[in-house]
Amino acid sequence: MLKAVYSGIPGSYAEEAALAFFPAGTPLLQASSFGDACKKLAEGEADRVVLPVENSTTGAIAEVYDLLSRYGFFIVGEQYVRIEHCLMALPGADLSQIREVASHEQGISQSAEFLGNYPDWVRRPVYNTAAAAQMVAQSGSPHMAAIASRRAAEYYGLSILAGNINQKAENYTRFIIAAREPEFEENSRKISLLFTLPHTVGSLCRVLRLFEEAGMNLVKIESRPMADRNWEYLFFLDFVTDRPDSPEKLFEHVRECTQTFRFLGRYPHKEPGK
Amino acid sequence: MLKAVYSGIPGSYAEEAALAFFPAGTPLLQASSFGDACKKLAEGEADRVVLPVENSTTGAIAEVYDLLSRYGFFIVGEQYVRIEHCLMALPGADLSQIREVASHEQGISQSAEFLGNYPDWVRRPVYNTAAAAQMVAQSGSPHMAAIASRRAAEYYGLSILAGNINQKAENYTRFIIAAREPEFEENSRKISLLFTLPHTVGSLCRVLRLFEEAGMNLVKIESRPMADRNWEYLFFLDFVTDRPDSPEKLFEHVRECTQTFRFLGRYPHKEPGK
């Protein structure tokens, strides 16, 4: 059976992504960083790595794509996880006892409206929402609360004092699943790639039109300046296509009008909430 | 004198951005999250807020731009900070004594090659590199080390055991400086804005050409799907222009081909390393 590795601890949103994506019973390993997770895949300790790429507390798409390129990995799937922050404390503790609240700083930031009702609570930022839940569980103190996911509360045996306290009702983090080799499942409609271009609108639009003419819809574009090269920009793009044929011919044309080009993978397209 | 607020603690890269941007002696306040920092600006406790928007350990451009829009703030400047991770410990401690290393998980990840020489060290992720340095200083233990900036070592009285241990020689985080009102300094060459579009390559290229015809160079583009609206995408863009005139006329045309449009500010353009 395949083994998967994610960066984080049990109860984290990364673990939720892995649980949602893989069949029940898939062994899940933990890693202490994105780089460590990729190392475990490279060395064969795991067969899949789960990494956040969008709207995440720590996920910088550039860092993740850089790791994929460095290791030569390919994206084989994606998974959206709904971010629903809850306030949790030891069983039996109630709201009036809380004096301190721990969470990732984005958990604190995203729950600002709710926390506005409790201006006296000390805010304690920690590196991960699940780590905050773990800390509260280990503290044994009824005066401490954590902001983390419902799953983190379950995992660390905490009671939920208030559910869904983040401002935005709909907030998703996108995770990608990568492997050492590319996979071509049926129904693989999404394609991720990166290329570099001299940064003129003309050259960008020329490349985008090539994809459009090939029936591929742009669903994500992100640029990043390359620190060591003047006027050269790195683009990360996702497309969705309904054509089953391989886009090799298209990629040849794209290679001609880009400076460097890398195919990152073709995989089934998912939507948030599914 | 103007007061500025940043999200983080002394010794963090955010503080470095503030120190580099503002004249010496500018009072600098700390906040526990991006949202808290913006609140201090909104309520007049501070006159400027410093927020990371690119390549940052915690900076999600979407969250920051969402806060700017919600509060109606404007970008008035930018500052790049070079990320140079150092390994630091209590004065007198040496490498052979270290058993545990604390840092933000990206600090650990970005120093993987160096840490590969010390596979036995326990990795302890914390929420911020400066918080790792503070923790080592407070621990009093010669067996603990932190990965953080040179400035964090100075601030917390630690000695540097190894300098510049991150993989990439050149690694910058971009911060923006925002205020309650827009400012139009002379030499304000950079313009930031956001708009929504139905996501077709045609509509995107049409808007990009309007900017090109007006002599504005695209230097950054990023798209984000809007969770609640099918096929509608939010774009964040930065342009650089040498024309001193106000782009109001251009913005009128852009408004006609976009769904929502917001001008985020015009400010002096800086480069990494300056």
Largest Cα–Cα separation, chain B:
65
Query: Could A112 and B223 be called an inter-chain contact, meaning their C-beta atoms sit closer than 8 Å?
Result: no
Q: Which two tokens stand for residue B259?
A: 């769904």
pLDDT for the residue A154: 95
Report yes or no: B77 and B177 within 8 Å, Cβ to Cβ: yes
pLDDT for the residue A60: 60
- Of A56, A208, A225, nearest to B201 by CB-CB distance is A208
Distance of alpha carbon B231 from alpha carbon A95, whole angstroms: 41
Q: Collapse the DSSP code of A105 into the 3-class scheme (helix H, G, I; strand E, B; otherwise coil) and give the result.
A: helix
Query: Could A7 and B105 be called an inter-chain contact, meaning their C-beta atoms sit closer than 8 Å?
Result: yes
Q: Note the Cα B102 to chain centre separation in Å.
A: 22
Following CA atoms B252, B256, B260, B262 in sequence, which dihedral angle do they give, to the nearest 10 degrees? Answer: -20
Chain B, nearest residue to A205 by Cα: B205
Q: Using only the alpha carbons of chain A, give its radius of gyration.
A: 21
Number of Cβ within a 10 Å radius of residue B3: 16
Greater pLDDT, A194 or B226: A194
pLDDT for the residue A227: 54
Best residue of B101, B106, B109 to probe chain A, by most A CBs closer than 10 Å: B109
pLDDT for the residue A228: 55
Query: Could A39 and B112 be called an inter-chain contact, meaning their C-beta atoms sit closer than 8 Å?
Result: yes
pLDDT for the residue B265: 92
pLDDT digits (tens, 9 = 90+) for B111-149: 888 998 998 999 888 888 999 999 999 999 999 999 999
Around B34, how many Cα atoms within 13 Å sit in the side-chain half-sphere?
Answer: 28
pLDDT for the residue B103: 92
pLDDT for the residue A59: 42
The yes-or-no verdict on residue A204 having pLDDT over 60 is yes
pLDDT for the residue A265: 92
Looking at this protein, which amino acid is placed at residue A238? D
Mean pLDDT of chain A: 88
Following CA atoms A92, A98, A102, A108 in sequence, which dihedral angle do they give, to the nearest 10 degrees? Answer: 120
pLDDT digits (tens, 9 = 90+) for A205-215: 889 889 888 88
H runs (alpha helix) in chain B:
13-21, 34-42, 61-71, 105-110, 112-115, 129-139, 150-155, 201-213, 248-257
Query: Could B32 and A123 be called an inter-chain contact, meaning their C-beta atoms sit closer than 8 Å?
Result: yes
Q: Collapse the DSSP code of A68 into the 3-class scheme (helix H, G, I; strand E, B; otherwise coil) and give the result.
A: helix
pLDDT for the residue B190: 93
pLDDT for the residue A45: 98
The yes-or-no verdict on residue A160 having pLDDT over 90 is yes
Predicted-complex ipTM score? 0.71
Best residue of B64, B108, B123, B127 to probe chain A, by most A CBs closer than 10 Å: B127
Pairing outcome for strands A4-7 and A48-54: parallel
- Of B58, B62, B112, nearest to A55 by CB-CB distance is B62
pLDDT digits (tens, 9 = 90+) for A53-95: 875 444 467 778 888 988 999 999 999 998 889 999 999 999 9
Distance of alpha carbon A154 from alpha carbon B3, whole angstroms: 44
- Of B32, B105, B212, nearest to A105 by CB-CB distance is B32
Backbone angles phi, psi at A96, to 5 degrees: -70, -15
Residue segments in chain B with a per-residue pLDDT below the cut of 50: 56-59
pLDDT for the residue B36: 87
Region A42-63 average pLDDT: 79
Region A212-240 average pLDDT: 78
Looking at this protein, which amino acid is placed at residue A3? K
pLDDT for the residue B56: 47
pLDDT for the residue B59: 42
Distance of alpha carbon B189 from alpha carbon A134, whole angstroms: 48
- pLDDT band, residue A199 (cuts 50/70/90): low
pLDDT for the residue B5: 98
